[in-house]
Structure 1
């Protein structure tokens, strides 16, 4: 089996296990993270009504100037701060963190720390 396919299957198994226990509500939405080789994406999701409340990524036009000459981890921190700002504007203070099967280090950790510093509680 291809090494990358094996890794993806393992992450998806962990992801399904996490999602079976974590649920986002309107008062405490799920902060879901996805990372590709180049970009990082984060969303606030209300699972009960199946609605995305807010989203941010390194591909956002609002963050384009701010992300120039930054590493992937630094960019993830900026994305976390931006998402927290959007969430606070919508009245969301607390979230449930969904790391989507990724290990909590590097980019995922930077995004979480950025969101915490900007005012989200999880």
Structure 2
């Protein structure tokens, strides 16, 4: 019998493969995105020191985790990063396909001033 592989296990396997090739530094930290069914989360992480520099999520807002909320989180994370002097980041899509909410967040972050 063929075993059914869960979607999240596949995503985690893809994410670990991406993380082997991709790491954030002090000069170019990593912009990590996590997407749940109800919310979307973004963090700017310095992997050399293991510190989260900036974070934003839809938990406190009433909009939920739709595309419009992802655009707002993209703008918010970019504004916070630019305030801390971070302009260039490495984008980590977290094993998700680059479309929908992930793409909306990335495009909004680019428009707000981040380069990746």
TM-score band (shorter)? over 0.9
* CA deviation after TM superposition for structure 1 residue 71, in Å: 6.8
Which portions of structure 1, spanning 4 or more consecutive aligned residues, are displaced by more than 2 angstroms? none
Q: Secondary structure at the match of 1:52?
A: strand
Q: Secondary structure at the match of 1:104?
A: coil
CA distance in 2, matches of 1:55, 1:71: 16
CA distance in 2, matches of 1:48, 1:35: 24
Q: Which one of 65, 73, 79 corresponds to residue 73 of structure 2?
A: 79
* CA deviation after TM superposition for structure 1 residue 14, in Å: 0.5
CA distance in 1, matches of 2:59, 2:107: 20
- 1:12 alignment partner in structure 2: 12
- Tell me how many residue pairs correspond in the alignment: 114
TM-score by length of 1: 0.88
CA distance in 2, matches of 1:16, 1:52: 19
CA distance in 2, matches of 1:79, 1:71: 10
- 2:55 alignment partner in structure 1: 55
> Gapped runs of 5+ residues in structure 1?
none
The alignment's C-alpha RMSD in Å is 1.5
CA distance in 2, matches of 1:17, 1:87: 26
CA distance in 2, matches of 1:83, 1:6: 30
